[in-house]
Amino acid sequence: MLPDGTTLTDDTARLRAAVDFVREHDTATLLPLLLPGLRGPELESLAPHCRFAHAGLLLFPTDPQDLRRRLADCGLAVDTPSQPSVVVRERLARRHRRDLAELDVRILRPRVEGPAGERRAVEVFALAVPPHSDLGALAAHERARGHEAHLALELEHPDPLVLRGLCAVLARHGARPDGGGYNPHEDGTVLYFITPAAGACGYRRLELYTPGDHRDALDDHLRAAPQEHPDASRPAETLLRLLTGAWTTQALAAFARLGLPDAMDPHAATSTGELARRTATRPENLGTLLRYLTMLDVVAEHAEDAEDTAGEESFRLTRLGALLRADSPDTMRPLALMYAGPFYRSFAALDHTVRTGQPGFDHLFGENHFDHFARDPELADLFDRSMAASSRMFEPLPAHPVITAAARTSTPRTVVDVAGGNGELLGRILTAHPGLRGTLLERPHAVEAARRALDSAGCGARCDYRSGDFADVPHGGDVYVLSRILHDWDDDRCREILRHCARAMPAHADLLVIERLLPADGSPSLATAWDLHMMCNVGGRERRAEHYARLLADAGLELLDRTPLPLEAYVLHARKAR
């Protein structure tokens, strides 16, 4: 948007406007535009402590060549290197309820000179949207609203007092906190603000960057950010909806247990009476359940498709509901049964966990969930299948650079899956790369299940199986995998597990850790929900990336990078520290 209120929808025009803005302004002229009323001695004392670093915007080229053409049209270097943008990718996924795997957002910073030759940049976030892509609506929304358009100020000196003073000045002149975070890879702290609507520069989002770890200032900033719920004007209704969340869990599980997803057609509606006959249920009660599930978009009602049933309701299965079919290759039915079964019961003891620190599961069942499941073969099988039901997060993993590099070597390399469950992840990797070998370490009953699964997938001949605990991590592998293991344990046990892995790893070996990461800015996340779940059921926890980096370092390992996966998971890549 231009200062006169004109909205630019063409990417080249938006990029050119950002370049011109960066070239024309310096800190002293920019601050009064952002914060009306900031002038005189206060402006003069503030401006020397920070510099105008860049303007940022989100573009939607059709492909990389289209992006290069637009950069060239605006006089920018077309060979500017790019890297994945984790923050914007996550923000887009949350805002539009899209899977992270669908959003390959790149970030590049072509250089631009300021009015006196200062070195600045335009920070370009690029999401490729080919013609006729289903991302078209997302692109139109973002172009119209400019959520990611921002200006950036950088502190000249990382002084905590200057940082807090600058935040106070921004707040005094109407800027509102809007999230932030600490980036351990760059060792820098970022604070975001929304500037007053009366500003005259067309940008409403401000980024304040300072080198170093300023976690105290960041925590204060995040606490000051508004957390208002969309229904905050109706708190009683909002609370009532939250309190009935347990009904949703049980309705979904009942839907799965009754076999309704398998009795329904995703393409044509079926009458309630016919569904009741197929599932041996009472039509009247079944109709009540299906109407509730309609609100959740699990089924859709189509009364007009049942003309021969005297006005009887009819329903079809939605894409969401199809995930609960038993025969679906990506079924989530075991998860529904697990979350509405043992884990549902244990959450009734959540207050006990908060009071004592003891997992609610242990309090309710008299033992930890690993021992409890191991003594019940049916429950153990359900747990292993529920873990495999989240296997969508594994889909991109066979293409991870560590895996593909191991697969390209002339001699066979070995992937060691530590506590690999029923072999779902290892099977995906070996199927994608026939030259790789695999070793799976697990408890005895799980080893047999994995052996059967990998044999049926055609990978069994390339696998070795070890029964044991974390102390038995096999030596001499090339790639070690810890998938959703560390979040089961406290920090001390995590360090112990990582040290076992480090001792087993040759100098050249890589470690891939798959976990959900708590967001640094406190934004809504599946990881936050799972943090509560792990605390209540196993005494574990979810963690931020920098927390995992510290645990890895304590074990003599170094976190090199992290890559997002579906279902809000990440793969952390580590090696032995040099």
What pLDDT does residue 127 have?
Answer: 95
**CA-only gyration radius of the chain, Å:** 27
What pLDDT does residue 308 have?
Answer: 47
Per-residue pLDDT in tens (0 to 9) along the chain, 578 residues: 434 333 445 889 889 999 999 998 888 888 888 887 787 877 887 788 888 999 999 999 999 999 999 999 999 998 888 888 877 888 888 888 787 878 989 999 999 998 888 889 999 999 999 988 888 888 888 888 888 889 999 997 888 888 888 888 888 888 888 888 877 666 788 898 988 876 677 788 899 999 888 888 888 888 776 654 444 446 777 788 788 889 999 999 999 999 999 999 888 899 999 999 999 999 999 999 999 998 888 898 875 444 445 567 899 998 889 999 998 877 899 999 999 999 999 999 999 999 999 999 999 999 988 888 888 888 888 887 887 777 677 888 999 999 999 999 989 999 999 999 889 899 999 999 999 999 999 988 789 889 998 999 899 999 999 999 999 999 999 999 999 999 999 999 999 999 999 999 999 999 999 999 998 767 778 889 999 999 999 999 999 999 999 999 999 999 999 888 888 889 999 999 98
What pLDDT does residue 185 have?
Answer: 61
Q: How far is CA 356 from CA 29, 323, 364, 536, in A?
A: 56, 37, 14, 11
Task: State how far the Cα of 457 lies from the Cα of 248, in Å rounded to an integer.
Answer: 35
Per-residue tokens: 377: 């073969």
What pLDDT does residue 307 have?
Answer: 43
pTM for this predicted structure:
0.60
What pLDDT does residue 359 have?
Answer: 93
Task: State how far the Cα of 414 lies from the Cα of 405, in Å rounded to an integer.
Answer: 12
Task: State how far the Cα of 340 lies from the Cα of 359, in Å rounded to an integer.
Answer: 18
**Strands (E) located in 204-330:** 205-211, 270-271, 299-301, 314-317
Task: State how far the Cα of 416 lies from the Cα of 429, in Å rounded to an integer.
Answer: 11
CB 194 within 8 A of CB 178: yes
Give residue 576's Cα distance to chain centre. 26
Instruction: Tell me how many degrees the CA angle 200-201-206 measures, rounded to the nearest 5.
Output: 115
Q: How far is CA 422 from CA 357, 384, 454, 486, 551, in A?
A: 30, 6, 8, 18, 27
What pLDDT does residue 227 have?
Answer: 53
Q: How far is CA 201 from CA 118, 149, 204, 360, 424, in A?
A: 20, 12, 8, 54, 53
SS3 label, residue 392: helix
Q: Which residues contact 3 (CB under 8 A, 6 or more apart)?
A: 200, 201, 202
Q: Exposure of 148 by Cβ count < 10 A (0-12 exposed, 13-18 middle, 19+ buried)?
A: buried
Instruction: Tell me how many degrees the CA angle 430-431-432 measures, rounded to the nearest 5.
Output: 90
Domains of the chain: 11-224 (3.10.180.10), 244-332 (1.10.10.10), 342-387 (no CATH), 390-576 (3.40.50.150)
Task: State how far the Cα of 467 lies from the Cα of 90, in Å rounded to an integer.
Answer: 38
What pLDDT does residue 461 have?
Answer: 93
Task: State how far the Cα of 314 lies from the Cα of 304, in Å rounded to an integer.
Answer: 8
What pLDDT does residue 266 have?
Answer: 82
Task: State how far the Cα of 79 lies from the Cα of 168, in Å rounded to an integer.
Answer: 40
Task: State how far the Cα of 437 lies from the Cα of 421, in Å rounded to an integer.
Answer: 17
Pick left, alpha or beta for residue 180 (phi over 0 → left; psi -120 to 50 → alpha; otherwise beta): left
Q: Catalytic residues, which ones?
A: 487
Strands 270-271 and 314-317: antiparallel
Interhelix angle 283-295/272-279, rounded to 10 degrees, is 110
CB 537 within 8 A of CB 361: yes
